[in-house]
Structures are given as structure tokens and as C-alpha cells.
A and B are shown apart, each in its own frame.
Chain A
Amino acid sequence: MLENPFSSMRQSIVDGAPDRALGLAQEAVATGMSLLEAINNGFVPGMHDVGEQFARGQMFLPDMMASAEAMRAAMAVLEPELKRLGSERPMAGVVLLGTTKGDIHEIGKILVGTLLTAHGFRVHDLGVDVPGEKFASKARELDADIIGVSALLTTTMRNQKGVIESLEKAGLRSQVKVMVGGAPVTRRWAEEIGADGYAKDAMSAVALARELMEQKALPSVTEPA
């Protein structure tokens, strides 16, 4: 009996096997399978499993990195094809990601970006060592909904505040939600610097991004005169 292609896709992500995920994505394109179904019923549930197992302490960060790599390999085939067919996934929001100035670490950011992409967000990754002004100018250019700022070191997490200040200076703060994360970052720190949210790991970053998008959709409350 032939294996269910969706479960193979799911398993390729759980196993962190980029070559297998790539092959399955190419096969889906070649056989004319619904690519949205391949994403939503195959690859994304795999990433969801990974996130859940990680939250339960059954998977570890290196496993998750491998799964993210597999997800990227599959999406690199599927997304251009979807675009060509004119059947892009509904877009959950535009997210700008980057590691704060002075910090060159991006493990967490890559995981967050992969999971957000898997869940329908359009992610633009600014890379590492990104000054606050660059976040602000790119946010304006892309009309970003959310900015995610990562920092791995206690010495660089202070610069997350600089990103918020740059948005304020650029007059964009009310339009862009800011979420922060990284090993030394805490919810308290996020509150202290005036961020809109803190995510302790990649899966909770997805939940937070969805929540922030809901907040954005609410009509803005104006102060009584």
C-alpha cells in the first residue's frame, strides 16, 4: 500500500530531513497535487508536531533547527509554484525579523521565521546586527504589521529598546507591533521597554503574532476629547 503523501510530508519535517521534504514537494508539483493541501495538511502539521514536542521537552533545539531547514526546503519549491499558479495562501500578516544591533546570532530568529512562514505570515528577515533605524525604514517600505527583534546576549538585548525608539522617531510606533525574544529576554523586560509582546520560543511567537494581528484588526480607541 502506498504511504499517505501527507503523512510522509509531515514525517519529513518531524525527522528534520531537508532532502526528503524537498523531494516530496517536487513530487507534489509534478503530480499536480493541490499545493495548498500539501502545505496545510502535510508540511505545516509536521512543523506543528515539532513545536509541540519541543514544548514538551521531547525535541531539542538542534532537532528543531533541522526541521526548520526541512520546512524551508519544501517551501522553496511550493511557494514559487503557488505564485505562478496564482493561488497564494491567504497572508496572515507581514513580519519583519532581525537580530538587534551588536548581536550576530540568529538561531532563534530563524526558527521563528520558519514557523511564521509555515503559518502563513510573509516574513522578511533583516539578518543580524541590525540597527533600530534599519528596522524602522524597512517597516515603512514593507508596510510591516509586526517587527520581531531577537537578542542572544544580555549586552545586546538593551538594543531592543532602541528599535522601539527608532519606530517612535519615525512616527511608525502606532502602526507596527513589536515582539521581542531571545535567551536573556523576559516578559518583564518586554514590558519595561514598551514592546507589545514577548515570546519565549518559536511556537509561542506564532501564537503571539496571531494575537498581535487580532489586536491590529480591532478598531483603534481614541481618547475622549
Chain B
Amino acid sequence: MRPKFTLLDKPLIERILEEAFQLIENPGVRVAPYVVELLRSAGITVEEGVAHIPAPRARRALESVPPEFYLYDRRGRPAVHYGGDDVHFDPGSSCLNILDCDTQLPRPAQSADLVRLVQVAEMLPQFAAQSTAMVCNDVPAEIGDWYRLLLVLWYSEKPVVTGAFSASSLHTLLELVAIESGGQDALRRRPRAIFDVCPSPPLNWSEFASQNMVDLARAGVPAEIVSMPLSGATAPVTLAGSIVQHAAECISGITIHQLAQPGAPIVWGGAPAIFDMRTGRTPMGAIETAMLDVGCAEVGKCLGLPTHAYMVAGDGRLVDAQTEMESGMSAVLGALAGINMISGAGMLDFLACHSIEKLVIDAEAIASAKRLIEGIAPRGSSLAVEMFAQTGLQGDFLKLKETRALFREEQHFPTSVIDRGLSIPDAGAPNILDRARQRIEELLSAYQRPVLAPDRETELIDFAEREGKKAGIVGLPEILRPSAHV
């Protein structure tokens, strides 16, 4: 039996959906001029920038969403299954700062940090996908948006969870992924990337978000809605009320998306959080935030849609017990909830900072969470009696062939990041940060850049140089030269 964690019963989900459908009709949803004609042509009233979406129209849009789809790796293998209760993880995205590996103090993230993180994530099987994890502060802002994606594509063959910072840059990002995939059609057939799109709470599809939704649908590249109700600030204070708002934002976004291209892949996702009434901060590690994530995903699942959430992030400013307690708890809850893609690993300090050390520790929490959802399986025709028949009351189970045959399936073996007493040092035990650092070095020394066909490599570089030139930049940062070693 697959263990499962739920927070909402059927009547409550029905009430949530009923109120969400009410909200999208009245007061309605703010939309950008870019989608007004699209909505009106479907019979939806749009007055003064507010769309009033009737429930039957929204329900039709929900019905045309594919219940499942895959993201593919560079070799064309299905690597992420969005749908059902499959669970995948990727590192948190678009972070401005990194916790310096030597000083453990936050500083603006650089290209080399992103590359290092991508290389580590590439080596960790717990991460089914990469993310454009950081904003590179050492490159001009004009190219920062697509440059992150270029680095990820350069150093990884895993699928990528990404997103554009503006309406116009989306097309540059799409073009980059298309080059790497072998063309627009190849990208459409075997999508390598999924693009996050964030409505502004409450109930506002801004110019940028509206345009991204339509353009992604028409490009046939998966979109992932990241609705961000902040309970008590930009959303009702109650968790149930915030889940209603999340549902309303997702349903209205899906309506726009499916009107642009029925059947285009889209994910019911989000980064909801409570709003701390003492500080005005939005704690990602709060248990109520995890409850919101689980509740929101449950509503999406009830509609038969692929799901996403932002979890495995802690709020401490250091990689410490608080940060890891919060991250570990939410990893477990997200996995038990069967959320298809869980973003956020590696992040701390209210999503303001990334840490590669935390990423490798989070990978251990994720591995444990994945073991948990495998559940307790009856293996063999007898659970215990046959083994007792062999060993009697002597209890010498270590010698049994069943023990040798089954222990690997029963027990998960963490890496050296987790102290299980594997090595006992002479003087003092290394703390978890030291163990994480050591693990990072091991992973980096084993990393090899995945092969990219030379013609595509050249095309990527040419494209990047052309785009850079448009922004007044000559050449490319050294990190992107084919011979560069980081």
C-alpha cells in the first residue's frame, strides 16, 4: 500500500471548488489586454480589465487539460512524469544569493555558483530535474534571464524547470531550448523544459503572466502555474480560504491557457505561504505553508491534473537544525501527498538564499521521503513465519538467504552526509556541514559534462553571442567556452 497524506475530505474539496468557480465569475479575475480578445471570443465578459469567467466555460477548459505528460532528458528518455501520484524533486529557482561555501555567509550568486549547483544536482538521483536556480549577478541584467537557462542546458542533460522574467524574454528562452532539443517540433514532441508562470495575488494575470500563458500554450511547451496566495496578506487568512484563491487563480489561468491552445500541457502548481503576522515574512518552512501546499495539490488532483508545489525550503539563515527540520518535514509531506514536482530544495532564508551544502543534505531527506512512500510491502508468501521456521528461537536472521536477498529493498542507505556511525574519527565527529562539503567535492570530481552534439553546441553559442550582442555585450563569459573547466 502506498502511504498517503491528505488534509481535505471530499465535501471540503467540493466547497473549495464551488467558491473558486464563484470567485472567477465575481469579482472576476484581472487580466491583461493581451488576452482580452481571446477571452471575449469564448463568450467571457471582460470589463475594465476584469474577466468574469462563467463556471461552465472554466470547467470545459479543465476538461481539455492533459491529465499527464512527460519531460524528457537530452537523450530523449522520459525523465519526469507529471500525473498520478508520481513524485519528483528539483532545486529551488531564481535565487539572488548563495550561502558562500567557505564563509557560510550570503553573497550575490555568480555564474560559477550556478554551474557548481547544476553539476551537483546532475549527480544526485534525487533530483529528476534541474532548475534555473540562481540569478547570475556577474552578468549584465539584460542577458541574465536566458543566460541562466543556457548554463543549465550546457552543463546538464536533465529536464529543466525554468521561467521567464518578462514577456519578451520567454521567446529567447524557448528558442534556446528548441536549439538544444533539435528544433521547435522536437521540443514540442519531447519537452525538455517546463516554464513557471506566476499570477499576482489576488486573482491577477498580469501582462507578463497572461502573455506567457498564451505563448507557452501555442508553443506546445508545458506551463506550470505558480500561484502564491499569502494567507492573511494577499489572500484570506484561513488556510481553506487561501486554497480557494489558489484554485481560482489556477482555474482562471488554465482557462486562458486552454483557450489559446486546447490540450496544451499545464500544471496545477504554486508557492503558497502563510504571512507571519509578527514580521510580515512568508515562512516557507512553516507547517501551515506545507499544509497549504498539500491542500492546494489535493484540489488539483481531485480535478485529475498534474501538480506542483514549492517545498523542501527552510527559513533559517544558516544550514542549521531549524532549516533542515523544516525542509525534511515538508519533503516528507510533499512526497506523501503525491505531488508530481516539488521545487525548493537547497533554499533557505525565506527563499532569499541558495546553498549547495543544503542541496546535498536535502537530497538525503528526499531519499528518505521516497523510501517512505514505497511503504511497507509484504514480500514472499510468508511475512515472518517461514523465516522463523528456518531459524527458530535462536533468532539468527543475519544468516538467512532472505535477509541477504531483501535487505536492500527494505532499507535505504543514506550517503556519508548522514551520520550512521560508518566511520568513527579519532578526534571529534565532522558536523553535517563538513560532511556535506565532502560529499559535494566527491560529486564534483565524478561529474562529467554530458555530451551535446557539436552542431547544437555551436548553434547555442552562436545564438547566445547574437543575443548578447543585442544587449551590447561582445563575446560570452569564459564559463561557456566549450573548453572551459569550472
With A61-B280, A152-B234, A153-B228: A184-B108 Cβ-Cβ less than 8 Å: no
**Docked CA distance A189–B282 (Å):** 17
Given the complex of chains A and B, what is the CA–CA distance between A54 and B276 in angstroms? 12
Which residues of chain B have a CB within 8 Å of any CB of chain A? 94, 96-97, 106, 108, 137, 165, 198, 200, 204, 206, 208, 228, 230, 232-234, 275, 277-282, 350-352
Closest to A62 in B: B277
Report which A residues bind B (CB closer than 8 A).
Answer: 54, 57, 60-62, 102-105, 107-108, 152-155, 158, 183-184, 186, 188-189, 192, 201
Residues of A within 8 A of B96 (CB): 154, 189
Select from chain B the residue with minimum beta-carbon distance to A60: B277
Residue of B278, B280, B351 touching A57 (CB-CB under 8 A): B278
Q: Contact check, B352 vs A152: say whether CB atoms are below 8 A apart.
A: no
Contact B233 A60 (CB under 8 A): no
Query: Complex: how many Å from CA A184 to CA B208?
Result: 21
Other than A57-B278, A152-B234, A188-B97, give 13 A-B pairs with Cβ distance below 8 A: A54-B278, A61-B280, A62-B232, A104-B204, A105-B233, A153-B200, A154-B96, A183-B280, A184-B350, A188-B106, A189-B96, A192-B108, A201-B279
Complexed CA–CA distance, A183 and B283 (Å):
10
Residues of B within 8 A of A153 (CB): 200, 228
- Residue numbers in A under 8 Å from B198 (CB-CB): 155
Closest to A156 in B: B200
Which residues of B lie under 8 Å from residue A107 when comparing CB positions?
233, 280
Q: How far is the CB of A64 from chain B (nearest CB, A)?
A: 9
Q: Is the CB of A104 within 8 A of B277?
A: no
Give 29 A-B contacts (CB < 8 Å), ordered by A residue. Answer: A57-B278, A60-B278, A61-B232, A61-B275, A61-B277, A61-B278, A62-B232, A62-B277, A103-B200, A104-B200, A104-B204, A105-B234, A107-B280, A108-B280, A152-B230, A152-B233, A152-B234, A154-B94, A154-B352, A155-B198, A158-B165, A183-B280, A183-B282, A183-B350, A184-B282, A184-B350, A186-B352, A188-B106, A201-B280
Tell me whether A183 and B200 are in contact (CB under 8 A): no
Measured between C-beta atoms, what is the minimum distance from A200 to chain B in Å? 8
User: Across the interface, which residues of B come within 8 angstroms of A108, CB to CB?
Assistant: 280
* A57 CA / B278 CA spacing, docked (Å): 6
A157 to B59, CA, bound (A): 35
Given the complex, which residues of B lie within 8 Å of A105, measured CB to CB? 233-234
Q: Determine the chain A residues whose CB is within 8 A of the CB of B94 once the complex forms.
A: 154
A57–B281 alpha-carbon span in the complex (Å) = 14
Q: Are A183 and B206 in contact (CB under 8 A)?
A: no
Min Cβ gap A117→B in Å is: 20
Whether A184 and B352, one on each chain, are in contact in the complex, defined by CB atoms closer than 8 angstroms, is yes
Cα(A155)–Cα(B271), bound, Å: 12
A84 to chain B minimum Cβ distance, whole angstroms, is 37
3 closest cross-chain pairs (CB), A and B: A60-B277, A61-B277, A183-B280
Cα A91 to Cα B472 with chains together (Å): 46
In the complex the two chains form, what is the Cα distance from A82 to B165 in whole Å? 48
Most A C-beta atoms less than 10 A away, residue of B278, B281, B282: B278
Task: Select from chain A the residue with minimum beta-carbon distance to B280.
Answer: A183
CB distance from A220 to the nearest CB of B (A): 30
* Cα of A92 to Cα of B232 in the assembled complex, Å: 33
A152 vs B228: C-alpha distance in the bound complex, in angstroms? 11
Name, among A60, A108, A183, A189, the residue most crowded by chain B CB atoms within 10 Å (CB to CB).
A183
Docked pose: A34 CA to B229 CA in angstroms: 46
Complex CA–CA separation, A189 to B204 (angstroms): 26
Question: Within 8 Å CB of B208, what residues of A?
Answer: 102
Residue numbers in B under 8 Å from A188 (CB-CB): 97, 106
Q: How far is the CA of A108 from the CA of B233 in the complex (A)?
A: 10
A84 to B50, CA, bound (A): 42
In the assembled complex, the Cα of A136 lies from the Cα of B458 at a distance in Å of 44
Q: How far is the CA of A119 from the CA of B198 in the complex (A)?
A: 38
Docked complex Cα distance between A105 and B230 (Å): 11
Contacts of B232 in A (CB 8 A): 61-62
